[in-house]
A and B are shown apart, each in its own frame.
Chain A
């Protein structure tokens, strides 16, 4: 069964460092998303991406964040200068055109120390 895959599963980084979280969406999907979940809190929308551009972003997704689809298969989330409060589980999701279900990857746990 096709699935969304994310790497790494866990990343520890020092405050102020740049991190790149990677996702490989399901191959025929056209809509891509990043969500995050701080421990004990709800899942929060960060950004949606379609046709090689951001279609919507939340207030959380400030200038420190960027997304890219560099090679037609990977979908990345970059955090330029990590803060302690960026520590969370980051989920990538993808969806087909016209579909209702977004399929989530298993997540990357980011720990900023």
Chain B
């Protein structure tokens, strides 16, 4: 079983739509959780950290359910510029802990 699993998509949505991505992780020792964004052939960039209490950054809302080992990302009012691959990432092992990436979910926002 993969340590971090995501639906690869692609998700094709019109501008203005709301879209949700889900992710599950298998290792209960995972300590920190993130959503990264990756544009084609570019480096991953941190979109937001994910907390159990849920957190919001503008049009983006992330949620963590530790009991179910489930992470979500909601994007409201999608823009063309949101088109990218969204990577679910978990971290274990304290301060030097490696990042474990999911396969990524591809989003294509169309006019």
Question: Does B100 belong to the interface (CB within 8 Å)?
Answer: yes
A45 in contact with B98 (CB, 8 Å): yes
Residues of B within 8 Å of A45, CB to CB, are: 98-100
A105 in contact with B96 (CB, 8 Å): no
Shortest beta-carbon distance, A17 to chain B, in Å?
24
Number of interface residues, chain A, beta carbon within 8 A: 26
Given A42-B102, A43-B87, answer yes or no on A98-B95 (Cβ-Cβ < 8 Å).
yes
Shortest beta-carbon distance, B33 to chain A, in Å?
10
A31 in contact with B95 (CB, 8 Å): yes
B101 in contact with A43 (CB, 8 Å): yes
Question: Does B72 belong to the interface (CB within 8 Å)?
Answer: no
- Complex Cα distance A109/B43, Å? 11
Residues of A whose CB lies within 8 Å of any CB of B are 31, 33, 35, 41-45, 48, 50, 55-56, 58, 89, 91, 93, 97-98, 100-102, 104-107, 109
